[in-house]
Amino acid sequence: MSLASQPASLLLMSPEDNCLIARTALACGDVVAIDGQPVTLAQNILIGHKVARRALAVGDKVLRYGALIGSITAPVAIGEHIHTHNLASDYIPTFTLGQDGHHFLDKDDQA
């Protein structure tokens, strides 16, 4: 199946957004269309997770639904996964599971 005939695997929520949302789970090596251009994914992307619509630099603001949701903390290439490893909320603390797998910790407080 050619890229043009594949159903869209990424969803653009608003024209201003610089991220796209995975409509299905995507695998490393999958080729997806981003603004009509084929992009090979460098990592697995879970359903509902964000993918960079364009290259983003540290400090760039991420827009989802046309609204600011956070700032990039590490360089992100087009098609790369955007999540807590490279995105910090500008509004609320970002929490992740602790090493015990049950208790949430503020991402910035983890050692």
Share of the chain above pLDDT 70, in %: 76
pLDDT on residue 111: 47
pLDDT band of residue 8 (cuts 50, 70, 90) is confident
Radius of gyration for the chain, computed over Cα atoms and rounded to the nearest angstrom = 15
pLDDT band of residue 5 (cuts 50, 70, 90) is very low
Q: Which structure tokens are listed for 40?
A: 């090979």
* Nearest residue to 67 via CA among 17, 21, 12, 22: 17
